Structure 1
Amino acid sequence: MDEQARETGIGRTAESAAASAEHRRWWQVDCRDLSNAHRTLAVLVDRDEVELVGPPGHAAVLSALGVRQLSTALRDAATQARK
């Protein structure tokens, strides 16, 4: 993934967000920052690596649902990175 796509937040690929987990290369997880503003975490697959991109300059606060979504995204990304 190029540097500009990384800096803009979520990696946009030719694959849609609705793609099956088997072929997806990025995931979004909703979260909040410490001031309770809406943010997102991105989980990206770049060749054989998984990248976790948080809100720039902010901490990510996850609900229980957000933790489950992050766990699922990381597991699916790890599977893709192994391919």
Structure 2
Amino acid sequence: MEFLDSIPTGRTATVNPARASVPRAVPQAVDPRSAHLRRHEGGQTVWRVQCGDLINRERCVTVFVDDRQVVLVGPPGETARMTGSQLGQLRTALNEAAKLAER
């Protein structure tokens, strides 16, 4: 199995290697404001939205598409506390991932 870094602190999540190794088309930016959220890792598009937890440690929520489904990964075993701006970023990431999943 291949591992994909899921949060900035170095925790990992597994990814199906068959899907990770297949080159995917790079989508055009749907919303230029989200360009800093979007990255290409292991052959797939991943969005990372910064947030905090209940005791104000920095965390992130990760969004990606797997097998035409949108996957939302929160901080492991934690709560994601988000500002209005961070919620807007998450909404943008989810909208872009949904469009990518429909292709």
Q: TM-score range by the shorter chain?
A: 0.7 to 0.9
**Paired residue for 1:51, among 33, 48, 71?**
71
SS at structure 2 position matched to 1:4? strand
Separation in 2, partners of 1:57, 1:3: 22
**Paired residue for 1:21, among 29, 48, 51?**
29
**Code of the aligned partner of 2:65:** V
**Paired residue for 2:90, among 48, 60, 70?**
70
**Code of the aligned partner of 2:29:** A
**Paired residue for 1:8, among 5, 12, 25?**
12
Bigger Rg over Cα = 2
Q: Which residues of structure 1 form unaligned runs of 5+? A: none
Cα deviation per residue 1:1-21 (whole Å; 9 max; x = unaligned)?
Answer: x67326615x8x799xxx743
Q: Percent identity?
A: 38
Q: Which residues of structure 2 form unaligned runs of 5+? A: 31-39
Higher RCO (C-alpha 8 Å, min separation 6)? 1
Query: What's the CA shift for 1:36?
Result: 0.5
Match of 2:60 in 1: 40
**Structure with the larger strand share:** 2
**Paired residue for 1:60, among 80, 96, 101?**
80
Task: State the number of aligned residues.
Answer: 76
TM-score (ref. length: structure 1): 0.76
Cα deviation per residue 1:2-53 (whole Å; 9 max; x = unaligned)?
Answer: 67326615x8x799xxx7436x621000000001000000001112100000
